[in-house]
Amino acid sequence: MSSDNSSADDVRQVWDVVVVGAGPAGASAAYAAAVTGRRVLLLEKAELPRYKTCGGGIIGPSRDALPPGFELPLRDRVHAVTFSLDGRFTRTRRSKQMLFGLVNRPEFDQQLVEHAQKAGAELRTGVTVQRVEQHGAAVPDRRTVAVVLQGGETVLARAGVGADGSASRIGAHVGVKLDQVDLGLEAEIPVPETVAEDWRGRVLIDWGPIPGSYGWVFPKGDTLTVGVISARGEGAATKRYLEDFVARLGLAGFEPSISSGHLTRCRTEDSPLTRGRVLVCGDAAGMLEPWTREGISFALRSGRLAGEWAVRIAEAHDAVDARRQALNYAFAIKAGLGVEMAVGKRMLAVFERRPGLFHAALTGFRPAWRAFRDITQGSTSLGEIVRTHPVAQRALTALDRRPAAQAAAAEQEAEGVRDRQDAAGS
Ligand SMILES: Cc1cc2nc3c(=O)[nH]c(=O)nc-3n(C[C@H](O)[C@H](O)[C@H](O)COP(=O)(O)OP(=O)(O)OC[C@H]3O[C@@H](n4cnc5c(N)ncnc54)[C@H](O)[C@@H]3O)c2cc1C
């Protein structure tokens, strides 16, 4: 708990860190802050477990970012991937070692929250945060953040973490800027045992008919998660893609238990990540792999960093110190996940124009499949491959036909971040 010169009563009412949103980002932030012994409050508008539109694909970096002792509630282990190009040229690739795991999000997210609670975080569900204030009548002093709940109650903290997902109110407070918004549509389809058996251990990835779109089948025992994702603004075409996809797979006769949609958002490279004593992470910060729209690892990794730096902000003795800690958080994000996102954006730009090339590479060119395997297993990353393999670098540059000045600026930015990262020894 914080200690300062205020009266004992005031001190008791101020949390060290308040985290808004109990998805992977929020639970990860709450865990990282609570494990240091600080008083942490985690606020969630839903009752848990809550449904989240998501494939539940847990790749290596997600697994590696889980808190110590966390046991993944895997519904299936993926050893094979069937690729198709808008339903054609189907080919299955296999791996002896597991490629990635599949979870049900309600179960996974609740377990993460329980882990944060075991570390000492307090959870309040069924409370919607309306806004955050850092100045004005609700804020007793300059070292405090006021989190205003629906209904008027105010919660006070030394630092705030916004992990409230892709429609984030805390992100709006911080001024998060976006340059990519996509719409994901999904159906949870219960299937008979014979159909489930056919999919066990195998996923399907279909490169879709709309530029930048793709679809997937992720098996979870007796239920298949079938989804598609595409740029926002193509709502009718995206819906049609999902319908055609489901029909083509012979699954149209099975009634989905849940059909839902959700937006994913990617930040601009210069988007803010902090404002005063408030940090944002996960979807709330627009942190997501732009090509695959994989976001759980970004949520877990940025959440952990946000929790760690929120503790330092909570302990900051003045505004200058708090600002320094907030900037350190932003730097850590940009040097790591930011570089990954920059490469992902370039991959998406190429994929939008040449989905057939991706399909041909993954199904017919062994090094491309090995790269896919290594990335999903977590032994390397897309950024690392482009950085360390001159051939991959040249291929991406040749295919990324953005105007030369724009591509050069992106390259320079990535170089600059890498240099700073090297200088920082990280
Ligand atoms: C169709 C689809 C499929 C996907 N598939 C995958 C996949 O297979 N693998 C992968 O890695 N990623 C996937 N993603 C991305 C992934 O789901 C997200 O990146 C991830 O959930 C982000 O976690 P988060 O904690 O930031 O946000 P969320 O999981 O969205 O959690 C935010 C939480 O904040 C709460 N909240 C919101 N507003 C408030 C408020 N005002 N007050 C209090 N609480 C609030 C919400 O109820 C929610 O519980 C997919 C996304 C989509 C749309």
Question: What phi and psi values does residue 162 have, to the nearest 5 degrees?
Answer: -95, 115
Banded pLDDT at 402 (limits 50, 70, 90): low
pLDDT beyond 70 at 412: no
**Pocket of ligand 1 contains residue 63 by CB under 6 Å:** no
Residue 13 and residue 37: Cα distance in Å, rounded? 17
Exposure class string for 155-169: b at 16+ Cβ within 10 A, else e: bbbbbbbbbbbbebb
Q: Please report which confidence band the pLDDT of residue 369 belongs to, taking 50, 70 and 90 as the band edges.
A: very high
Per-residue pLDDT, 394 = 78
- Does 64 score more than 70 pLDDT? yes
Mutate to test the pocket of ligand 1, among 59, 102, 232, 296 (most ligand atoms within 8 A of CB): 296
Report CA(183)–ligand 1 centroid distance (Å). 13
Report the run of H or E that residue 339 belongs to, with start and end: helix 339-353
Residue 13 pLDDT grade (very low, low, confident, very high; cuts 50, 70, 90): confident
- Cβ atoms < 10 Å from Cβ of 94: 13
- Segment 313-322, tens digit of pLDDT: 999 989 999 9
Is residue 123 lining ligand 1, measured as CB closer than 6 Å?
no
State the Rg of the chain over Cα: 22
Segment 103-121 mean pLDDT: 98
Question: Ligand 1: does its nearest atom lie under 6 Å from the Cβ of 165?
Answer: yes
From the CA of 256, how far away is ligand 1's center (Å)? 21
The 10s digit of each residue's pLDDT in 14-39 is 999 999 999 999 999 999 999 999 99
Burial class (CB in 10 A: 0-12, 13-18, 19+), 403: exposed
Alpha carbons 229 and 241: distance in angstroms, whole number = 9
Single pTM value for the model: 0.92
Q: How far is the CA of 405 from the centre of ligand 1 (A)?
A: 35
